[in-house]
Amino acid sequence: MLRPFDYYRPADMDEALALLGQGPEAAVLAGGTDLLVKMRRDSRRSPLVVDIKGLEECRGIGWENEHLSVGALTTFNDLLGSGEIREHFPLLIDAARVMGCCEIRQRATLGGNVVNASPGAESGSPLAVLQARVIVRGPQGSRQMPIEDFWQGVGKTALFPGELLTHVLIPRLPPGSRSAYLRRSRVRGMDLASVNVAVVVINPQVSKNRQIRVAMGAVAPMPLRARKVEAMLRGQEITPELLAGMREKIQEGLTPRVTSLRASPEYKKEMVAVLTEMALQRLLKR
Amino acid sequence: MKHLINLTVNGQKMTVEVESQRTLLELLRDQLSFTGVKEGCGDGECGACTVLMDGQPVRSCLILAVEAQNTEILTIEGLAAGDGLHPLQQSFVKEGAVQCGFCTPGFILAAKALLDRHPHPTDQQIREAMGGHLCRCTGYETIFLAIKAAGSKRR
Ligand SMILES: Cc1cc2nc3c(=O)[nH]c(=O)nc-3n(C[C@H](O)[C@H](O)[C@H](O)COP(=O)(O)OP(=O)(O)OC[C@H]3O[C@@H](n4cnc5c(N)ncnc54)[C@H](O)[C@@H]3O)c2cc1C
Ligand code: FES
Ligand code: FES
């Protein structure tokens, strides 16, 4: 049973911000698949729950100049059904397909996944590798920032009390770019990722113009770009020696926490290297 | 805080009073006595509380009752028309896919949503739809076969 609270479903942004302004303990409810679990376990208490599903401005997927704007209320099933996502950012489809199960994907939102800021969250490494930005709305108006600045630790974000995440902006990739998301989990059924990687390859066919981006999840408090590996692979012919070097470099400085329930640090480090190589092999095939 | 909400359960329109903190599971099971909706884990993990909301499977333990305002809910009680069994229920009986039965309503409703979307699902699509449902008795194979048989019968 949940502790008593008041519930409101504001019809527009002004009403939502006014409600959230009533106190720092107000809880935003989107799909509820994280929030209700936490409230039930009593790890989160709130006298006021503000259901934002009536905010039409936080819905929809569409191009705005060179960014695909994805509303915070977009569910994982919406992502799977979006032609724009499928065509331009297939790694998000890879991620949405392994996220939870049908019933969870039906309710769980992208905004909730980003704000929940879990280290291995399904959207984490894909949005990091896509260099997404987030739009945040509060009583003072809107602000924007790179998603890597938005995440500040396990379960911690740059949101101030009273603020909402309204959109995720994903920059268009150059034509011909490819992307993939791979993960390992303990079981083949429903489970969170033990470790995951997201890879984008720009100009896959011509090695001297090729750029490779890599991000990893569940190996650090936040999704992490492997920038040293990216520099090492940039514009290079991919040889077995280079890949061997990559496998070593990507593990450098990684210290996954020992207390993880899902996998040992050694396994995570090894698998980050293996998954990155698998993704590259898949994306660089002619 | 109390709310008066309108919803349709198993084809019947109703107005009910609920407290903010009540889950849809509690509304259906305790207040409206649709005891075919089971509480297993209460955490979204097991699938026993699955119902269809506007035709889509959802976990009623992770939804507040007030969130069901203006929605159509289907529980296992509303699946069969009249006194007979729904083809999926018949198929579960025939394949021996029911032992203790605790997981059965969730599996059948998830399967119904699957067959509504894909009348002839692939094996992969069936496994996908079963993915978030736990059964401690059957070992899953008979459930898979029951859904598959119900899917091929519709041809
Ligand atoms: C059974 C189960 C399986 C799961 N499997 C996975 C999995 O495989 N991969 C994975 O990544 N996650 C998984 N999750 C976790 C969860 O489903 C996701 O993180 C989901 O995306 C959360 O979205 P939501 O809309 O349900 O968030 P909510 O629970 O509504 O909210 C999550 C948090 O974000 C805040 N919030 C939500 N939206 C906003 C907004 N727009 N602005 C400001 N704050 C906001 C809420 O206040 C809350 O703190 C699983 C959860 C369950 C119960
Ligand atoms: S009781 Fe809802 S998923 Fe287990
Ligand atoms: S029949 Fe007993 S849990 Fe499935």
Q: Which two tokens stand for residue B61?
A: 């333990």
CATH no. of A179-284: 3.30.390.50
Written as one string, the DSSP assignment of chain A is -PPP-EEE--SSHHHHHHHHTT-TT-EEESS-TTHHHHHHTTSS--SEEEE-TT-GGG--EEEETTEEEEETT-BHHHHHH-HHHHHH-HHHHHHHHHSS-HHHHHH-BHHHHHHHT-TT-TTHHHHHHTT-EEEEEETTEEEEEEHHHHEEETTEESPPTT-EEEEEEEEPPPTT-EEEEEEE-SSSSS---SEEEEEEEESSS-GGG-EEEEEEESSSSS-EE-HHHHHHHTT----HHHHHHHHHHHHTT----TT-SS--HHHHHHHHHHHHHHHHHHHT--
Residues of A in contact with B45 (CB under 8 A): 190
Q: Does A187 touch chain B (CB under 8 A)?
A: no
Residues in contact with ligand 2 (CB, 6 Å cut-off): B 39-42, 44-49, 59, 61
Confidence of residue A256 (pLDDT cuts 50, 70, 90): confident
- Cβ pair B27, B16 in contact under 8 A: yes
**With pLDDT > 90 as the criterion, what percentage of chain A qualifies?**
88
Can you tell me which atom of ligand 3 is nearest the CA of B137?
2
Confidence of residue A186 (pLDDT cuts 50, 70, 90): confident
In CATH, which superfamily holds the domain spanning B2-77? Beta-grasp domain (3.10.20.30)
Distance CA A127, CA A116 (A): 14
Multiple choice CATH, A6-51, 1.10.730.10, 1.10.10.10, 3.40.50.720, 3.30.43.10: 3.30.43.10
CA dist B58 → B49, B96, B97 (Å): 8, 25, 22
CB-nearest partner of A103 from B3, B58, B67: B58
**Closest approach of A280 to chain B, Cα-based (Å):** 26
Specify the pLDDT at position B154: 60
Distance CA B135, CA A256 (A): 33
Domain positions in chain A are 6-51, 56-171, 179-284
Q: Which two tokens stand for residue A221?
A: 């408090």
**With pLDDT > 70 as the criterion, what percentage of chain A qualifies?**
100
Q: Is the pLDDT of residue A156 over 90?
A: yes
Q: Which residues pair with B52 in a beta bridge?
A: B57, B74
The verdict on domain A56-171 having CATH code 3.30.465.10 is yes
H or E segment to which residue B5 belongs: strand B2-9
User: With a 6 A CB cut-off, is B99 part of the ligand 3 pocket?
Assistant: yes
Confidence of residue A255 (pLDDT cuts 50, 70, 90): confident
Can you tell me which atom of ligand 1 is nearest the CA of B132?
1
Specify the pLDDT at position B114: 98
Cα(first)–Cα(last) distance of chain A, in Å?
55
CATH no. of B87-152: 1.10.150.120
Q: Tell me if B20 and A7 make a contact (CB, 8 A cut-off).
A: yes
Q: How many CB pairs under 8 A join A and B?
A: 85
Specify the pLDDT at position A271: 94
Distance CA A209, CA A219 (A): 30
**Closest approach of A217 to chain B, Cα-based (Å):** 22
**Closest approach of B54 to chain A, Cα-based (Å):** 11
Q: Is the pLDDT of residue A269 over 60?
A: yes
Q: Does A106 touch chain B (CB under 8 A)?
A: yes
CB-nearest partner of A6 from B20, B57, B128: B20
Can you tell me which atom of ligand 3 is nearest the CA of B97?
1
Domain positions in chain B are 2-77, 87-152
Closest CA to A95 of A256, A261, A227, A223: A223
Confidence of residue A135 (pLDDT cuts 50, 70, 90): very high
Confidence of residue A185 (pLDDT cuts 50, 70, 90): confident
Q: Nearest residue of B to residue A49 by CA position?
A: B20
Q: Which two tokens stand for residue A32?
A: 């509820």
Distance CA A119, CA A219 (A): 7
Distance CA A80, CA B50 (A): 21
pLDDT, tens only, A201-233: 999 998 899 999 999 999 999 999 999 999 999
Predicted TM-score (pTM) of this structure: 0.97
Q: Does A36 touch chain B (CB under 8 A)?
A: yes
The average confidence (pLDDT) of chain B is 96
Residues of B in contact with A100 (CB under 8 A): 44, 132
Per-residue pLDDT in tens (0 to 9) along chain B, 155 residues: 999 999 999 999 999 999 999 999 999 999 999 999 999 999 999 999 999 999 999 999 999 999 999 999 999 999 998 889 999 999 999 999 999 999 999 999 999 999 999 999 999 999 999 999 999 999 999 999 999 999 987 64
CB-nearest partner of B66 from A1, A7, A190: A7
User: With a 6 A CB cut-off, is A55 part of the ligand 1 pocket?
Assistant: no
Distance CA A16, CA A27 (A): 11
Q: Which residues pair with A255 in a beta bridge?
A: none
Written as one string, the DSSP assignment of B34-50 is -TTS--SSSSSSS-TTE
Specify the pLDDT at position A200: 98
